[in-house]
Structure 1
Amino acid sequence: MFGIYLVKFIFSRTINNNESRRLITETECPQLFQAIREVALETQCPMPKKVYLSPDVNACVFYNTSFWSIFFPVKKNLEIGLGLFNATNTDELKGILAHEFGHFSQKSMKVGSTVYIANTVIYNLAFQEDKWDKWVDEWCVIPIQSLAFFGKFTRIFTNLVKRILQYMYRVVNHSYFKLSRQMEYDADRIACDYIGKDVFASALYKIEILASSFNVTKEALANLAEEKKKVNNFFEAYQIITDIITQNNHLSISYQSLIDQEIPTLYPPSRIVIENTWDTHPSTEKRVSHLTSRNSKKKVTSFVSSWTLLPENIKLKVADIVENEFQTSAEAETLETISNEAFRQWYLEYYRNNIVIEKYRYFLNRNILVFDRSEVAANKIDTPFTAANCEVIKEYEVALNDCNTLYNVYYKQIEVESIRYLNEECSIKALPIKRHEEYVETLSVKVKQIDKDIYQYLMYCCQLNNNALTNEINSIYDAIFFAQTNIKEHDSELDMRINALINELNRPVNRTDKEIIELKKMINSLTNDIKKIVSADNWDLLSTVGNTKMIELLQTFVQSPLDESTNSVIDTEQINTMIQVKVIYFYLLKTLEHKSKIKLGAKIEEIERNLPTID
């Protein structure tokens, strides 16, 4: 059996499946195939075996692999995500395809697919469970103890080999991922040689923007479906939201022009620069900085929309794929189809109702530092919503993220090849954690004072308005502090404990009665702790953001008796309910926090709008 384990990889296959793909033919999309053929010719790469379309903002070359693929290379398939067609021109799309073909276009690049296949084989040996493992597990529990002993011995010995392979896999992958990053740069160079640096850089920037707006569109349409409405075409809705997002960020994106920047960040730069060992793809910023300025084979850029390469009926069929993710065909028939203009107006209203008002966004859309409101007098104070205070808050938010990065590096949650702090190379063993903590603490004092000033300003303004909104403002602060405190104290800790329990339950071992009893104690302890956290809740606050079914589930869970027994029976229903309660509880807390901050922003705007003239 151990011999079979060592050679089973010869017969295993890795199938690359994606239910969102749709196979197309040249008869259906002649113009798209012509563009693909042109790119394949220029990059000295054979035409793909098959071409698929998906809704995503992505393009990739994929293939099914087995050990024999190292010696007998397989023909590769091409997947093109129609999310790329939005706001890109045909040359930008060809540049993206040239990058994908670039991974396999030259003899020097063929090592990439060979290493990938070998890496997959090692991974399967080290981590994957299959029929062989099931056979051994059954062997371990057969009634004949003399035979079961050899099954257990085989399992123990194989697990030892797997641990060695897992360690080796991690060591090898340090170099493999470094190779992957270099291969990205090489494929980028091939794309630049074909289409030009400016066009390809523009495509990279647009992909970043389009990926963000694509996810926002899917979320928006899921919410629209809850209102029993739908759009006629997903990609037209996607275009509308892309336009709104880029306009809000003072950026124009269109197939009729190239862009030379990402959505600009309004936060100050991080003090930390790291090279993550496990990153397979460099950042867009790094990729653009590595692009060469060679003369491209294509001299004139074609500012023609990528959509012209596709017939409208194919576009609609792929749109149906993404729409089916959040509605069944039966549900879709009951939904009212609204016009593009109606959708645009709906989304603008939805955006206003679900986002903190822009003027107060940086002040409220974060973790507001908790303070004792009873110590804040409603004395006269100038508005704290100033540009200077906003910059302090931004600097503090970036500093907190940097602090988490340093902790993760120190505790080896992130493995890095190098780290720089304020442009100085740092040793992993001598990270400037204390220095940065002092910097964060200095900013924390300033930010806490800003939070107090905001509250004092609101109380003072309420006095001027005859205290009309004082109680309402305090109720909103109650909700925010309640949600933030519970999330901070319990969310991450419970996640870690639940993940540890799931990993233990999924371990392919045969436990003794004593081990099962210890596992049962672990489950009971976690269940009891979740009950205590949820039972200390403010049900009135949660009922403002959760439906009756959610609240009833939480209350039923809290009131149900805890199974304190330590017999050797694991109640999977108890575990599933416990996890479901945890997820719902913290979902409600986060929703309460988010909606309370939106409400607070609206109240501040109302207060300032109705504020009497102050001498």
Structure 2
Amino acid sequence: MTEDALKPSKQFQKMATKSVWAIALFIFTYLFLIALSIGLTILSCYAGIMLVAAKPMFITFMLCAGLCSFGFLIVFFLLKFIFSSNKIDRSHLTEITEAEQPRLFNLINSIVEEVGTHFPKKVYVSSEVNASVFYDSSFWSMFFPVKKNLQVGLGLMNTISTDELRAILAHEFGHFSQRSMKVGSYVYNVNQIIYNMLYNNEGYNNLVARLASLSSYFAIFVVLAGKVVSGIQYLLTKVYDIVNLSHLALSREMEFHADTVAAHVAGSKPLITSLLRLQLADYSLDTVFNYYSKKISVNERTDNIYPQQYFIMNFLAKVQRLSIDGGLPQISEDYNKKFNKSRLVLKDQWASHPGTEDRIAHLKKLNIPLKNHQEGIAIDLLNDKEDLLKKITEGIFSRVNYEKSPAITSFKQFEEEFVRENAINSFPEVFNAYFDYRNPITEFEDDVFEKPVQPFNINAEELFSDENLALIFESRSAITDLDTIDRIDAGAIKIKSFDYDGQKYTVADCKKLIDQLKKEVESNDKKLKDFDHRIFEYFRFKASEQQQTETFKAYYSKYISVAETFNIQQKVHQDLLDATSFMNATTPFEIIRQKMLIVKNEEVKFKEKLSELLESADYESLITPEIKERSTAYLNVNFKYFAGTLYFDEELKVLFAAMDDFAYLITEYHFKTKKALLGFEASMEVSVLNA
């Protein structure tokens, strides 16, 4: 690798200089505080000794000890970080060796040699979609070199190519490829020191409590020492903000530098493609975990989660019509931008990493061709792959408490059930996920079904094109942008300026921009409602064309009725949820008593709707014996929930369980009715295609 690749950018050097000045500020402040505290300690001890010398007796001896402890506590507070260390939890990691995994270690060796850094002290694998270099740190890490460890997630290796793994590991080693990167380590450790003095005070507080309990003489001086320490913490808080901001700004530049190193080792493309896929890979693994969390109650698990993660990733990619190359989904920038149409750009000074879009733009600008190409998926580098994956899976499930020894679900069982559940919980593909975000329109004139139909010269695929669906995401992004700018205007987000739609704005411009966005949100809402009407008219035309008008009317009328009921049910549930929200925060007893009157009032309406639901034949198939038992028990009792100064926790559990059951039942029934309507509409489209 060329020296230019390892040379930090001008922006990096600028941020490093700022960080050095921030460290200098801390050192000056800290030495000043140390000198002050030592002087105060000497003065306290001298005063105590003089007091004893003037009048030797028990009280003066105790006062002398108290004065000495006063000074000692302040000095110890300022020096305690020297004795502390930050040890990384390794309980979820499994160490691997070169003898066990020679191909993976060969890859690591080649990267280490090219980057010009040291081989990791130890290499670990974990279950995660992640890779990192880590080490146990302490105050002395700034003066003595510490060998780093490498952690590679099998959930990552399972979802990236070998080229992408090379790029990711080169990025991690790139953080330690230059002496100038040591600045980041110093800033990090200074941050840890201040953080320790500000927040890691459990041991110090225990010492203070023990001293105070020895005698009332000590307690007086402990309180005085606490006042001085509070003043020191206030000053350090201000320094912490300066050092931390410098650290975060430098961290962002360090990420760009590490990306540059990765590009020179593997080329720009592998890191770009892995960055774009990581969210899907992480979501796929979470989906597997969620699936088996629901299986705990029936004592089921798997012996290998990784084939299932891989299956879900590619299954979802096919559903989203993404291309698959080399066994891996290829996600484009345009695909990501499809869901995020925000035009608001905030420079987050508290972010430790640059955004994915900024990193990709940086890598594209480098435009380094693919290097050191190797075929295959990264997980195939592992020897005895199945055994290792099963070992890691075993470690995951060993932390779960099953009632009895769990049965092992085969991959085929998982695949069949996942596909079946996905089909049950999804709307027909013909709608291109439009109705994942919106409901069919229900606001019509009374005679809408009797009006003459208008012919359409398009099909559903054209109607539900990505171009037409873009309005949904534009509308959602505009609402989010409006909310953010509203918070900037109110001072909830502290920022001096921001970019919107390519133009720079200040806080003073917020009100004008808010008015503009409100009009845009209203316009988008009207356009979406007009499009909803167009969709309705399209399927009304289809029904007429296929002589199914009455069937279409029956499905749609049923949905309108259920949607209207659902809206009422949702409001009753939300009103009770809002009424009980104060229970999540510390609230004065008198306020609790007042708010409980509102809770009981809202509960009357909630119980009425819950009773109606339990008696309705429409919900019968959804009401399990457990739900029936819980709901009936709740309805038959009039709980108080609070009296005197205490909440009745068992009663509140029953209330919130009833609310959860109610929300599940109304949501599921609305979903089933909506899907029935959409299924019928989709069948009319299929009928035309098969004709």
Shorter-chain TM-score tier: 0.7 to 0.9
Q: What residue is the counterpart of 1:403 in the other structure?
A: 482
Deviations along 1:449-486, one digit per CA (max 9) or x if unpaired, are 65677789999979722964466424531454246546
Paired residues of 1:528 and 1:562 also in contact (CA < 8 A): no
Partners in 2 of 1:472 and 1:308 — Cα distance?
A: 53
User: Structure 1: any 5+ residue segments left out of the alignment?
Assistant: 502-517
Match of 1:514 in 2: none
2:627 to 511, 536, 548: 548
* Structure 2: distance between partners of 1:79 and 1:289: 27
Match of 2:520 in 1: 439
- Distance in 1, Cα, partners of 2:323 & 2:434: 27
1:606 aligns with 2:665: no
Deviation at 1:371, TM superposition (A): 7.7
- 1:440 CA drift (Å): 0.9
Q: Do the aligned partners of 2:427 and 2:435 also contact (CA within 8 Å) in 1?
A: yes
- Aligned to 1:351, which of 422, 434, 438? 422
User: For the residues of structure 2 that align with 1:375 and 1:159, how far apart are their CA atoms?
Assistant: 70
Instruction: Tell me the distance in 2 between the aligned counterparts of 1:576 and 1:3.
Output: 48
Which amino acid in 1 is paired with 2:588? Answer: L
**How far apart are the structure 2 equivalents of 1:127 and 1:349?**
50
Per-residue deviation, 1:584: 7.5
3-state DSSP of counterpart to 1:536:
helix
User: 2:31 is matched with which residue?
Assistant: none
Deviation at 1:118, TM superposition (A): 1.5
Partner of residue 559 from structure 1, selected from 621, 638, 641: 638
Matched, 1:84 2:162: no
Kept after mapping to 2: 8 A contact 1:473/1:600: yes
User: Alpha carbons of 1:520 and 1:488: their partners in 2 closer, same or farther (altered >3 Å)?
Assistant: closer
The answer on whether the counterparts of 2:639 and 2:651 sit within 8 Å (CA) in structure 1 is no
Q: Which amino acid in 2 is paired with 1:121?
A: I
Q: Percent same amino acid at aligned positions?
A: 25
2:321, 2:537 → 1: CA distance?
34
Aligned counterparts of 1:320 and 1:527: Cα–Cα separation in 2: 47
Q: Report matched runs for 1:199-214 at 5 Å.
A: 199-214=270-285
**Alignment match, 1:428:** 507
1:574 and 1:591 map into 2 onto residues whose CA distance is: 26
CA offset at residue 411 of structure 1? 3.9
Q: Which residue of 1 aligns with 2:395?
A: 321
Distance 1:591 1:330 in 2: 28
Distance in 1, Cα, partners of 2:236 & 2:673: 54
Partner of 2:589 in structure 1? 520
Q: Which moved more, 1:3-12 or 1:219-228?
A: 219-228
Distance 2:598 2:481 in 1: 32
Q: How has the CA–CA distance of structure 1 residues 479 and 397 changed in structure 2, closer, same or farther, with 3 Å as cutoff?
A: farther
Q: Choose the corresponding residue for 2:129, options 28, 52, 57.
A: 57
Deviations 1:416-470 (A, max 9, x none): 5752112111113322112111211222344456567778999997972296446
**C-alpha displacement at 1:160, in angstroms?**
4.5
More helix by share: 2
1:476 aligned onto 2:547: no
Deviation (angstroms), 1:589: 2.8
Using the TM superposition, give the Cα deviation of residue 398 of structure 1 relative to its aligned residue in structure 2, in angstroms.
2.1
Checking the alignment, whether the CA contact within 8 Å between 1:58 and 1:84 is kept in structure 2 is yes
Pick closer, same or farther for the CA change 1:602–1:227 going to 2, 3 Å. Answer: farther
TM-score normalized by the length of structure 2: 0.73
- Work out which of the residue numbers 174, 177, 195 in structure 1 matches 2:266: 195
Alpha-carbon distance in 2 for matches of 1:470, 1:369 = 9
SS in 1 for 2:323: coil
Q: Which residue of 2 aligns with 1:293?
A: 366
Corresponding residue to 1:536 among 605, 614, 622: 605
* Structure 1 counterpart of 2:378, one-letter code: S
What corresponds to 1:504 in structure 2? none
Deviation, 1:564, is 4.0
Q: How big is the shift at 1:123?
A: 1.7
Residues in 1 aligned to 2:229 and 2:627: alpha-carbon distance in whole angstroms: 51
Distance 1:360 1:137, change over 3 A: farther
Give me the TM-score of the superposition, normalised by structure 1. 0.81
Larger radius of gyration: 2
Residue 276 (structure 1) aligns with: 348
1:2-37 deviation per Cα after TM superposition (whole angstroms, max 9, x unaligned)? 332222112122221153211222222222222222
Partner of 2:76: 4
Q: Summarize the Cα distance change of 1:299–1:560 in structure 2 as closer, same or farther, 3 Å threshold.
A: closer
Aligned equivalent of 1:158, options 208, 229, 233? 229
SS in 1 for 2:361: helix
Q: Which runs of 5+ in 2 are unaligned?
A: 1-72
Q: Tell me the alpha carbon deviations over residues 484-511 of structure 1, each in whole angstroms, 9 at most, x when there is no partner.
A: 546766768966x45542xxxxxxxxxx
Q: Distance in 2 between matches of 1:413 and 1:576?
A: 37
Please give the alpha-carbon distance, in whole angstroms, between the structure 2 residues aligned to 1:391 and 1:575: 47
Whether contact under 8 Å (2:540, 2:552) holds in the other structure is no
1:80 is paired with a residue whose SS is strand
Shift of 1:585: 3.3
- Contact 2:104–2:381 (Cα < 8 Å) also in 1: yes
CA deviation vs aligned residue, 1:366-397 (integer Å, no higher than 9, x gap): 47699878978555466998448644433322
1:89 Cα deviation after fit: 2.6
Asked if the contact 1:9/1:121 (under 8 Å) is kept, the reply is yes
Paired residue total: 586
- Asked if the contact 2:576/2:599 (under 8 Å) is kept, the reply is no
> Matched residues in 1 for 2:136 and 2:584: separation?
31
Residues 102 and 186, structure 1, Cα contact 8 Å, conserved in 2: yes
